[in-house]
Amino acid sequence: MHLAIEQALQERRFFKLICGASYRNTEFVATLAQIFAEAGAQVIDVGARPELVEAARTGIAAAKVPVAGLPLIMVSVGINQDLHFLRVEKDFNRCDDRGLCVNACPHEVFVGGEIRLENCLGCDHCVIACPSKALSLVARDPLGEVQSLLKQCLAAGASALEVHTGDGSLPELKSLLAQLAPLRDQIELLAFSLGAHGQSPAEIAQLAHTIRALAGPDILIQADGKPISGRKGEKSTLPCLELAETLFAQGLDCFVQVSGGTNDLTGPLARRRQSGIHGVGMGSFARKFIDLSPSEPLSEALLQEKIAKARILVESVAMSPLRV
């Protein structure tokens, strides 16, 4: 494992910015990477596409980073139609142009009659808002051959990998791990995201132990509460902390970082509950917190303002250990 990452995890001060496994807007990925790299994030997590890795690298190169060599760029792959890899699809025969999706979408997908799929995170807010059932979530374009895709991402500058475990199918997981084996020594942080696919906490704990046995102790488990929710308040962040606490109670002995429903209250709540987590990943909420949209022109003054906001969020996790 990368030394500075291991140290941040051991100190329970690890922060990851999640751009979204299915997110494809390269320009905005570069901007987010720059802002959160300068704010002190240790990892920038993007979809597994070389162009997204290059975009993140461009953003990081433009940032004044607090720790040389960080953040790492992480790419995400998934098994079994993992819900992090979905995007919206519109059935024009059902649509009656009421436009409720326009306001429901927090990510500027429905703009002036266009559908900007590169901005879609697959959060499903628009699907819920549409009374005509014209919107649904479908799998993002298939990842293709994982090994060759990862080679391209590693060549482009990625050095961390997250495996989204979907419904936890073991044959698929084993097959993916076999494909990763020849690349393992190039991967400086290997993470597995689990939870939020309808499994019980006991099933998720069992899956975590199986992954730990298959992949070894040198891994990070991401306990996913409510994926892509972006909501504020303690209620939103509680499920991921409870899941992490279950994993620890079941004797899991590797690093655990929470995500899904995480926000500015995750760090303080984790400290109060003595959850024992080693870090926090944030996606939708982080964008909302810095209040920046993909189409907003970014002057130098505005950039500095967004970096200052991002720093508040990163420091809510990294300022002091998540367990005191």
**Residues in the site for ligand SF4, rule: CB under 6 A?**
88, 104-105, 107, 109, 120-126
- Of residues 115 and 183, the one with the C-beta less far from ligand SF4: 115
- Of residues 121 and 252, the one with the C-beta less far from ligand SF4: 121
The candidate with the shortest Cα–Cα distance to 45, out of 15, 83, 74, is 74
CB of 181 to ligand SF4, least distance (A): 34
- Of residues 101 and 146, the one with the C-beta less far from ligand SF4: 101
CB of 261 to ligand SF4, least distance (A): 15
The candidate with the shortest Cα–Cα distance to 281, out of 23, 46, 7, 18, is 18
Q: How far apart are CA 240 and CA 246, in angstroms?
A: 10
The amino acid occupying position 144 is G
CB of 266 to ligand SF4, least distance (A): 21
- Of residues 65 and 117, the one with the C-beta less far from ligand SF4: 117
Coil, strand, or helix at residue 221? strand
CB of 126 to ligand SF4, least distance (A): 3
Q: How far apart are CA 314 and CA 13, in angstroms?
A: 9
Task: Write out the two tokens for 7.
Answer: 């140290």
Which residues, in sequence order, are CB contacts of 34 under 8 Å at separation 6+?
59, 60, 62, 63, 303
Q: How far apart are CA 302 and CA 322, in angstroms?
A: 30
CB-count burial class (<10 Å; 0-12, 13-18, 19+) for 178: exposed
Q: Which helix (H) or strand (E) holds 156?
A: helix 146-156
CB of 108 to ligand SF4, least distance (A): 8
Task: Write out the two tokens for 88.
Answer: 């919206």
Q: Do residues 98 and 133 lie in contact, with contact meaning Cβ atoms separated by under 8 Å?
A: no
Is the backbone peptide bond immediately before 71 cis, with ω within 30 degrees of 0?
Answer: yes
- Of residues 156 and 282, the one with the C-beta less far from ligand SF4: 282
CB of 105 to ligand SF4, least distance (A): 3
- Of residues 146 and 282, the one with the C-beta less far from ligand SF4: 282
- Of residues 84 and 107, the one with the C-beta less far from ligand SF4: 107
Q: Do residues 40 and 314 lie in contact, with contact meaning Cβ atoms separated by under 8 Å?
A: yes
CB of 218 to ligand SF4, least distance (A): 34
